[in-house]
Every structure is written in structure tokens, then in C-alpha cells.
Amino acid sequence: QVVESCVAAAGYSVGEFAALVFAGALGFAEALYAVKVRAEAMQKASEAVPSGMLSVIGRREANYKFACLEARKHCESLGIENPVCEISNYLFPDSRVIAGHLQALEFLQKNARKYYFTRTSMLPVSGAFHTRLMEPAVEPLAEVLKSIEIQKPVVCVYSNVDGKKYMHAKHIKKLLVKQVVSPVLWEQTMHSVYERKQGTEFPYTYEVGPGKQLGAILKKCNVKAWKQYNHVDALEDEEAEET
């Protein structure tokens, strides 16, 4: 009944493939293969340049784009050509992930107070995902998606790239490739999914998989919608069946 009455689906970064499988746009095996190729290509791209991702909580006055600009200038002063330092994930108000050259991220951590960052922490990842440093991963994923049959989703699926609904198969292929080098607009997606007339009830929301991070983000973006939030841990269900 929950599946039949579902009105929308979305997945964070690689989770977008799971959302598209759920919505009937992608076959499970084909999606798994595309994810494998995507992961290997992104890993190879990340090994080419010392880079990473920095989680940032900022005050209202924080200007993330200006901070990134100054971090890039710092990298240029070190002799780094075409340095990368940009917002790669919009999580919730006053929270961003900034990705790029390690030297840029170190600069931001050292100067956090100047940019009104209240908390910064390096993420345990090997590269600057969702930035142009991932450009070498674009072609391998595009080639795989050309060989996969994609249907129009039977449930609305929202894209990380622009926070809007996927329209058709070509649109899905185009944006899944673009997503690799584009910021994840998760905060904007939450606003799109839950936008409704005043007085209209919010739907039940289910986060499927390990962890409750997306639920925590939803609470920060829309506390009224979060009140209808539930978590479904697929691994727990499997373990219960085995025992």
C-alpha cells in the first residue's frame, strides 16, 4: 500500500540510482553495473589529484562562494593551475560540503573564523566528488548508460542536478551523467518535494537503507514534513528473516 500510494522518490548522490530502480525507470542489475562503472571511474579520477571534501556548518553571515574564491587564489599562489574549490553538496540551511584540492580545503579550515564557519570536518572520502575534478568519470558512465534501457518513471523522481522531476528516459541519461560533476542540490530538492499549499497535509516519508542522515537533514529543512518521517533499515529486515 505504501508503494502504491507513493507520490515521489529521491536519492542522495549514488542513491539516485536506487530511487530510479524503485520507480521502475532502471532494472536492478543494469543499475548495479552502472554504479560499479561510475564508482571505478570516480575513484580513478580522484587518484589523479590530491583532493577531498569538507563538511561545513556556517553562521548566517557565511559566504561560501567567496570563501571558495579565496581558497582558489591561495592555491594559485602555491603554483596550482586551475585549482578547484566549490560547493559540492547543499545539505540544509547553513550547511554545505565544499570539495576540491586538498590545499584549498586546508586553507578554509585554517581560516574558518574569517568566513563565519562554526564547524568544519574533512569527510572520509578519497576525492572531490560532484566537482569538475570528476570529469574523467563522465565518459565511462555515459557509455554504460547508452547501452541500458531506461523507462519513464512510474513515480516522480527528483534529480540531484536541478531539484526537479525527471521527465523522460533521455533526460534521465543526461542528468545522471551531469550529476557526477554537479553539486548535489539536496536542500533544494527537499523544498521541491514538500512544496504544497498551506494547510495541505505532508505525506509519509520513508528513508530506506542504513543510517538516518537524510531524516536529520529533512528535519533541518522542513520540521513539519519530518514529523511524518520513518526509517526502514533493509539490512535489519534481512537479518530478522535469517534468524
Q: Does one domain contain both 36 and 138? A: yes
Last residue of a domain, one of 79, 112, 130: 130
pLDDT at 3: 74
Q: Does one domain contain both 19 and 126? A: no
Mean pLDDT along residues 65-84: 97
pLDDT over 80 at 51, yes or no:
yes
Relative to beta strand 156-158, strand 8-10 is parallel
Catalytic residue from among 88, 130, 159, 182:
130
Chain length of the chain:
243
CB atoms within 10 A of CB 142: 15
Catalytic residue from among 13, 55, 126, 192:
13
Domain containing 175 equals 1-44+133-196
pLDDT above 70: percentage of residues in the chain: 96
Last residue of a domain, one of 78, 106, 130: 130
pLDDT at 234: 75
pLDDT over 90 at 97, yes or no:
yes
pLDDT at 5: 86
pLDDT classification of 72: cutoffs 50, 70, 90: very high
Q: Is 231 a catalytic residue?
A: no
pLDDT over 90 at 83, yes or no:
yes
Mean pLDDT along residues 142-150: 96
Which spans in the chain are helix H?
Answer: 15-22, 28-48, 64-77, 102-110, 138-146, 169-179, 186-194, 213-221, 223-226, 234-242
pLDDT classification of 239: cutoffs 50, 70, 90: low
Which of these, 192, 208, 186, lies nearest to 21 by C-alpha position?
Answer: 208
Mean pLDDT along residues 148-159: 95
Mean pLDDT along residues 212-221: 96
Q: Does one domain contain both 57 and 162? A: no
Q: Does one domain contain both 90 and 203? A: no
Q: Does one domain contain both 126 and 140? A: no
pLDDT classification of 242: cutoffs 50, 70, 90: low
User: Tell me, what CATH number does 35's domain have?
Assistant: 3.40.366.10
Those residues with Cβ within 8 angstroms of residue 117's Cβ, 6 or more apart along the chain or in another chain: 56, 57, 58, 59, 62, 67, 108
Q: Does one domain contain both 237 and 138? A: no
pLDDT over 60 at 243, yes or no:
no
Q: Does one domain contain both 5 and 103? A: no
Last residue of a domain, one of 78, 111, 130: 130
Give helix 28-48 / helix 15-22 axis angle, nearest 10°. Answer: 170
Q: Is 13 a catalytic residue?
A: yes
Q: Does one domain contain both 191 and 206? A: no
Q: Does one domain contain both 122 and 147? A: no
pTM above 0.95, yes or no: no
Residue of 239 and 23 predicted with greater confidence: 23
Instruction: Say whether 158 sits in a helix, a strand or coil.
Output: strand
pLDDT at 155: 93
> Domain total for the chain?
3
pLDDT at 4: 79
Q: Does one domain contain both 73 and 53? A: yes
User: Tell me, what CATH number does 59's domain have?
Assistant: 3.30.70.250
pLDDT over 70 at 66, yes or no:
yes
